[in-house]
């Protein structure tokens, strides 16, 4: 019984981890992209610098979602509390 509770907790935790990471990454990417478009409309000559900064920011935001995926996989498959 105790093992079943640990498996259920790991499944719920992994689901929350992935779901919240996806929501956060989506919101972050949307905000960065909207600010990028606003910056281009204000100063079209700064497009190349803004584009570089936008790509770096989106990459950092998406890396958090990838890290959350790794954490969720560890919770599911390499959990030391589940025998």
Domains of the chain, residue spans: 2-77
At residue 26, the pLDDT reads 96
What sign does the dihedral 36-37-38-41 (CA atoms) show?
positive
What is the spatial distance between Cα 63 and Cα 82, in angstroms, rounded to a whole number? 28
Q: Give me the CATH topology for the region 2-77.
A: F1FO ATP Synthase (1.20.20)
pLDDT at 52 over 80: yes
pLDDT at 15 over 80: yes
Band of pLDDT at residue 29, cut at 50, 70 and 90: very high
pLDDT at 54 over 90: yes
Band of pLDDT at residue 66, cut at 50, 70 and 90: very high
Q: pLDDT: is 2 or 6 the higher one?
A: 6
């Amino acid at each position: 019984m105790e093992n079943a509770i640990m498996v259920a907790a790991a499944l719920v935790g992994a689901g929350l981890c992935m779901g919240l990471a996806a929501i956060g990454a989506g919101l972050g990417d949307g905000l960065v992209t909207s600010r990028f478009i606003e910056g281009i409309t204000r100063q079209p000559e700064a497009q190349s610098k803004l584009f570089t900064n936008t790509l770096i920011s989106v990459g950092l935001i998406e890396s958090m979602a990838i890290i959350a995926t790794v954490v969720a996989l560890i919770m599911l498959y390499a959990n030391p509390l589940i025998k």
